[in-house]
């Protein structure tokens, strides 16, 4: 049975932990607001690029641009995985890594068996997980979310495009968390390359006059589309991470509060038992003196 001193030490430790989790919740809430605003602001631009690309794709021969050409046989796959740099955000990293494993070992099991699956890992957690297990990692970006910048998204998109154009991969899949609400991030595995009608979005009903020609515009638009999509996915994942961390720290703070209540009850009971025992010993000693 723990002593009064042991319980006091435990109460002190839980209070310290509660202060930390409460502070982390407040920090995550502040970061979430900024990350959410950035993700929401990026969506209209990315959506409009998709719409323009769909409209242009209907007016040109897509075989002229290799990034728009769907290859009949997929032998090699590049998976771009976006995770967090740190933990303490519930099952955020675990869930997205499980989805990435499913994509690699189930969706592209034949390619994985033949060594045809490689990864680009943005975020420390995913990079460490797959590196320790011997997966082929083309590039890793640990600690990328500590100073999130568009140049990283551009570099990832350019690397994926270069590998696709060289024939080193036949498909590029991005695995990330899409931010929907604080309590409901959505796990997603989206094809980045090749850019098909589905990934480009529905064709616009508006009929535009393009100057210069659609083929020239589409050559300029495709790299911008890829850069923007990777950037949007990174912003979405960052917002989802902060939401998961805020929720996890809020839950930890409430659990600490409940644990403190239980420990205080245990402390009072132990203290009362100690007092009762001391009184019994005093009474017993007084009775012994009388006799």
Among all residues, which ones are annotated catalytic?
A: 89
Residues ≥6 apart with Cβ < 8 Å to 111: 74, 75, 76, 77, 117
Question: How many other CB atoms sit within 10 Å of the CB of residue 31?
Answer: 17
- Please give the backbone phi and psi of residue 77, each rounded to the nearest 5 degrees, phi first: -130, 140
CA-based torsion, 29, 30, 33, 38: positive or negative: negative
Beta strand extents in the chain (DSSP E only):
77-82, 117-122, 137-141, 171-178, 186-193
Q: List phi, psi (to 5°) of 140.
A: -125, 140
Provide the 3-class DSSP secondary structure of residue 194: coil
Give CA–CA dist 279/265, Å, rounded.
21
Are 64 and 215 in contact by the 8 Å Cβ rule? The answer is: yes
Instruction: Kindly report the three-state secondary structure assignment for every residue of 86-128.
Output: CCCCCCHHHHHHHHHHHHHHHHCHHHHHCCCEEEEEECHHHHH
Going by the DSSP 8-state scheme, the letter that residue 231 receives in this structure is H
In angstroms and rounded to an integer, the radius of gyration of the C-alpha atoms of the chain is: 28
Both tokens assigned to 259:
């644990």
């Amino acid at each position: 049975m723990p002593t009064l001193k042991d319980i006091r030490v435990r109460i002190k430790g839980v209070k310290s932990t509660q202060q930390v989790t409460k502070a982390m919740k407040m920090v995550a809430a502040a970061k979430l607001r900024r990350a959410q605003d950035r993700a929401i602001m990026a969506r209209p631009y990315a959506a409009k690029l998709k719409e323009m690309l769909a409209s242009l794709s209907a007016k040109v021969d897509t075989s002229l641009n290799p990034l728009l050409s769907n290859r009949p046989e997929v032998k090699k796959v590049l998976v771009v995985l976006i995770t967090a740099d740190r933990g303490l955000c519930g099952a955020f990293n675990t869930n997205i890594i499980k989805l990435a494993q499913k994509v690699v070992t189930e969706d592209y099991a034949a390619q994985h068996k033949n060594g045809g699956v490689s990864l680009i890992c943005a975020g420390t957690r995913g990079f460490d997980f797959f590196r320790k297990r011997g997966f082929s990692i083309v590039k890793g970006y640990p600690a990328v979310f500590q100073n999130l910048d568009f140049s990283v998204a551009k570099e990832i998109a350019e690397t994926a495009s270069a590998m696709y154009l060289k024939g080193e991969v036949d498909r590029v899949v991005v695995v990330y968390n899409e931010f929907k609400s604080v309590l409901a991030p959505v796990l997603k595995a989206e094809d980045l390359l090749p850019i098909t009608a589905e990934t480009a979005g529905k064709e616009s009903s508006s009929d535009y006059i393009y100057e210069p020609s659609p083929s020239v515009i589409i050559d300029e638009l495709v790299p911008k589309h890829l850069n923007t999509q990777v950037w949007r996915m990174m912003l979405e994942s960052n917002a989802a991470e902060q939401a998961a961390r805020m929720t996890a720290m809020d839950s930890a703070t409430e659990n600490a509060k409940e644990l403190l209540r239980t420990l205080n009850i245990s402390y009072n009971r132990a203290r009362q038992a100690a007092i009762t025992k001391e009184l019994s010993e005093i009474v017993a000693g007084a009775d012994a003196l009388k006799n």
